[in-house]
Structure 1
């Protein structure tokens, strides 16, 4: 399992103000989502890859391994979007198709363009979130949300859910290792059976650990807010200028693309 929290505490951008990193990640992500342009989405992916592997010094193998998870998931999703089903028959714009009993199933040029754009947009948004999670510890993001006056309930739920994700991943890995050592995945039949047992056991353990966590918090005087100490940071004017230049360049490029001056 990849230790995302470990990289968040040891990366080269650790001492950068978390508000600066959050601003860079979210402004870029909103631009990627707001401008429905594959070129902008591609630029965002490249930009975040450079920021993660370059200034943050995250190993490139770790980055590609992380990106492979949403890549495979999104690829399956956009394939279904690219396929069109109609009863009007194939006509202009169809690249390939087959008609059975009056129903045509195939791929159109517009469907492929839309699927590629959605794929790049989703991957760009995920890369922005990876940048933030790999460079900023969850404790500091909690402090940022408090400064931005987010609702306390939202902050606490976000923090607890984030922590619990890693607890569940570690538990699932332990169960999977135990099953593998007993040839639980030696065949397709065994794999399906072991996967079902893993899911059931993980649900029970998740319920038990959530109850234990609540008991532990209550015994320490939990009143609905997790108070933590965070380091003091200094806002860097240079970083703000760099962020402004990058976002301005992306905005200008997007506007020129939409107006037809580029491409």
Structure 2
């Protein structure tokens, strides 16, 4: 069991109804993505971090480690927005000219990139809140109540399951390679990594067939049914959601 899945089953908010957490996350993420000011994403990031760390009891180091995962993609996206190339050197805040071409930064582009960066982080924190506090089986139940087609939820379950299969298989192969000094040098590391990928493809294919056979042996008829606990509905939680969301919406409207 990976860390995210382990915390989803063992946190202080696991008894909260999944529909309440899903509603809170979807509303907050929508407000964050629709924001035209950088204040709202910062508030969303703080609220979600507080909910994950203080309310759910997830360690701070876990959240920081997870938040660093999308940083590389966000930084690359920011660079493509921040830097501009033009033959006209006017309008640049910081610039350098080479052979008639000006490479630099315009202040509006910098603000746009910063706003996009913060909105993306805020949206990612919303998804982490849902992933760290709600097991997949409970999310599937919510999707079924929303009349999401079964083919989509089944694909979600199978893909989620294969994440574990993929990681377990890759870990076992890599451990075997380490025990045989497969990563003792740069050349051997590249060679071992290529062999890992090729072996992983065959082993995962075999395991996928074994998984289907085990499902067929348990009377699989094209629909995966999950067993979840019934959670009590709390009007207090809906009131808290309204108290958080209404000021955020008003902030977006007034600050625009």
Shared fold per TM-score greater than 0.5:
yes
Is residue 99 of structure 1 aligned with residue 108 of structure 2?
Answer: no
Would the aligned equivalents of 2:8 and 2:132 in 1 still touch at CA under 8 Å? Answer: yes
Output one character per residue of 1:55-84: Cα deviation in whole Å (capped at 9) or x when no partner: 000011111111111123322332233221
Aligned match of 1:82: 82
Counterpart among 236, 239, 242 of residue 238 in structure 1: 236
Is residue 125 of structure 1 aligned with residue 123 of structure 2?
Answer: yes
Q: Which moved more, 1:228-237 or 1:15-24?
A: 228-237
**1:244-263 equivalences in 2 (<5 Å):** 244-258=242-256
Output one character per residue of 1:23-43: Cα deviation in whole Å (capped at 9) or x when no partner: 111111111112243221121
Output one character per residue of 1:165-215: Cα deviation in whole Å (capped at 9) or x when no partner: 232223333333333444434443333333333332332222222222122
Determine the C-alpha separation between the residues in 1 that align with 2:124 and 2:177: 32
Determine the C-alpha separation between the residues in 2 that align with 1:94 and 1:170: 50
**1:145-156 equivalences in 2 (<5 Å):** 145-156=143-154
TM-score by length of 1: 0.90
**1:47-58 equivalences in 2 (<5 Å):** 47-58=47-58
Is residue 177 of structure 1 aligned with residue 190 of structure 2?
Answer: no
Aligned match of 2:162: 164
Seen in structure 2, the aligned counterparts of structure 1 residues 256 and 57 have a Cα distance that, compared at 3 Å, is: same
Query: What secondary structure, in the 3-state scheme, does the structure 2 residue paired with 1:104 have?
Result: strand
Would the aligned equivalents of 2:95 and 2:102 in 1 still touch at CA under 8 Å? Answer: no
Q: Which moved more, 1:212-221 or 1:201-210?
A: 201-210
Would the aligned equivalents of 1:36 and 1:121 in 2 still touch at CA under 8 Å? Answer: no
Determine the C-alpha separation between the residues in 2 that align with 1:128 and 1:99: 43
Determine the C-alpha separation between the residues in 1 that align with 2:177 and 2:235: 53
Determine the C-alpha separation between the residues in 1 that align with 2:217 and 2:27: 40
**1:39-78 equivalences in 2 (<5 Å):** 39-78=39-78
Aligned match of 1:203: 201
Determine the C-alpha separation between the residues in 2 that align with 1:195 and 1:118: 35
Is residue 115 of structure 1 aligned with residue 107 of structure 2?
Answer: no
Would the aligned equivalents of 1:89 and 1:99 in 2 still touch at CA under 8 Å? Answer: no
TM-score by length of 2: 0.92
Seen in structure 2, the aligned counterparts of structure 1 residues 188 and 60 have a Cα distance that, compared at 3 Å, is: same
